[in-house]
Amino acid sequence: MHPNLAIGYFYSRQLQQRNNMEIRQLKYFLKVAETLNFSEASRKLYITQSTLSQQISHLEQEIGLPLFERNSHEVYLTEAGKELRPYAQNAVNSAEACVDHMNDLKEMLTGELNIGVTFSFSNIMSETLIAFLHAYPHVKLNIQYRTMQELMDGLKKRELDLVLAFKPLKNEKAVDSRAIFSNRLAAIVNVNHPLARLSSVKLSDLERYDLILPCKGLQARNAFDHMVEGKDLNYKIMVEVNNVNIIFDLLSRSNLVTILSESTTILQNGMKAIPIDAADNEMDGCIHILKDAYMKNSAQEFISMLSQNTSILANFALKDILR
């Protein structure tokens, strides 16, 4: 066992032995601290509100201090609650990491693997998903498509084991982002569009066409907005959509232009990606994992298989994924 896991687990066990404090109670406390709403917290924990209130009261009795201030409308963390929160999170994280590690040693590749994905990675990931399911039928895969910020939040809360997404515009201190391949932002059109004949396109060229863009918050849109920031450009944005499949369907039926990563067009028939000729047009495809966190065997196997993905090998410059 990793020394940090052993120390953390020992510490959490000492807490229980000394005060009869349970990891379950700390989880309940953390959920109420996150939501500041007993009703919402109980729903997310799949327990009754009365059970939740009872467990929080037991925890307060063990500690000897109130953790929440309550009135008929609002809930607040007390000073003791604010102080307990990081210690409780560390104890829960250590206990869960220890359980994950023991399960891996005992059962090897079983259990669940929680993967967060941005829409641009859908086609790239499909090949690896099929191969992984055939190789490890006892591992259940939970795939979640979200915005980049939602994925990073889920990773830091340990709701996700790993995230497949492009490198964020701002570095996340708690996240280790490992580049898989080099990619670029591109204008995407159907193969009969006038732009399809070009090998590259300038930002100013796009002013002449009607655009359908991913919604703000999605990674390609964030990158495009960052690229055009401060430039005197006037785009005709006709549609904004948060679903890439809808974008491709509309592209196939019209002369609209969208802005996505080149990789999005892999396995998309009838589409052409024209790289945008602009400075700093780089979108490294990355595996994102939590720093200093235990990585499941199943996650390591998935990453290894992804590095051998023929869709990536055939289309992009592969980087050192397992440095």
Separation between Cα atoms, residue 178 and residue 284, nearest integer Å? 9
Nearest to residue 158, comparing CAs of 297, 290, 41? 290
Q: Which pLDDT band, with edges at 50, 70 and 90, does 296 fall under?
A: confident
User: Does 158 map to a domain?
Assistant: yes
The reply to whether 170 and 189 lie within a common domain is no
The helix-helix angle for 79-107 and 23-35 (nearest 10°) equals: 130
Mean of pLDDT over the chain:
84
Is pLDDT at 9 greater than 50 in this prediction?
no
Same domain, 169 and 210: no
Same domain (yes/no): 154, 302? yes
Q: What is the CATH number of the domain that holds 311?
A: 3.40.190.10
Q: Find the CATH number of the domain harbouring 71.
A: 1.10.10.10
Encode pLDDT of 104-140 as tens digits. 656 656 678 999 998 777 777 888 899 999 988 888 8
d(CA 284, CA 223): 12
Give CA–CA dist 214/233, Å, rounded: 18
The answer to whether residue 293 sits within a structural domain is: yes
Verify that 51 and 113 share a domain, yes or no. no
320: in domain: no
Q: Are residues 7 and 98 in the same domain?
A: yes
Residues 6+ apart with CB under 8 A from 253: none
How far out from the chain centre does Cα 194 lie?
Answer: 36
Q: For residue 269, what are its two tokens?
A: 């028939």
Residue 263 belongs to domain with CATH number: 3.40.190.290
Q: Are residues 157 and 220 both part of a single domain?
A: no
With H, G, I as helix, E, B as strand and everything else as coil, classify residue 154: helix
- At residue 8, the pLDDT reads 47
Whether 172 and 288 share a structural domain: yes
Residue 67 within any structural domain of the chain: yes
Tell whether the model's pLDDT for residue 218 goes beyond 80: yes
Tell me the per-residue pLDDT of 251-276, one tens digit each, with 9 for 90 and over. Answer: 999 999 999 988 888 778 899 999 99
* Residue 321 lies inside a defined structural domain of this protein: no
Q: Which percentage of the chain shows pLDDT scores above 70? A: 87
- Widest Cα–Cα separation across the chain: 73
60 vs 15: CA distance, rounded Å: 14
Position 205 scores a pLDDT of 94
Distance CA 264, CA 16 (A): 50
How confident is the model at residue 12, as a pLDDT? Answer: 47
Higher pLDDT, 171 or 251: 251
Q: What is the pLDDT of residue 219?
A: 81
- When divided into structural domains, the chain yields a total of 3
Check residue 20 and give its pLDDT: 57
Instruction: Please check whether residues 171 and 306 belong to one and the same domain.
Output: yes
Q: Return the closest-CA partner of residue 187 out of 249, 314, 316, 278.
A: 278
Does residue 322 sit within a domain?
A: no
Domain-embedded: residue 137: yes
Closest CA to 104 of 116, 93, 96, 94: 96
Instruction: Kindly give, in sequence order, each residue whose CB lies less than 8 Å from that of residue 282, ignoring residues fewer than 6 positions away.
Output: 182, 183, 184
Residues 288 and 167 in one domain: yes
Q: Are residues 64 and 119 both part of a single domain?
A: no
The per-residue pLDDT for 108 is 56
Judgement on whether residues 67 and 130 belong to the same structural domain of the protein: no
Residue 182, Cα to own-chain centre: how many angstroms? Answer: 19
Residues 8 and 96 reside in one and the same domain? yes
The residue with greater pLDDT, 187 or 10, is 187
Domain holding 131, by residue range, is 109-181+284-315
198 or 294, greater pLDDT: 198
**Could you report how far apart the first and last alpha carbons of the chain are, in Å?**
22
Is 301 among the domain residues? yes
Rounded distance between C-alpha atoms, residue 305 and residue 82, angstroms: 42
Average pLDDT over residues 16-29: 75
Is 222 within 8 Å of 213 (Cβ atoms)? Answer: no
What pLDDT is stored for residue 80 in this prediction?
Answer: 93
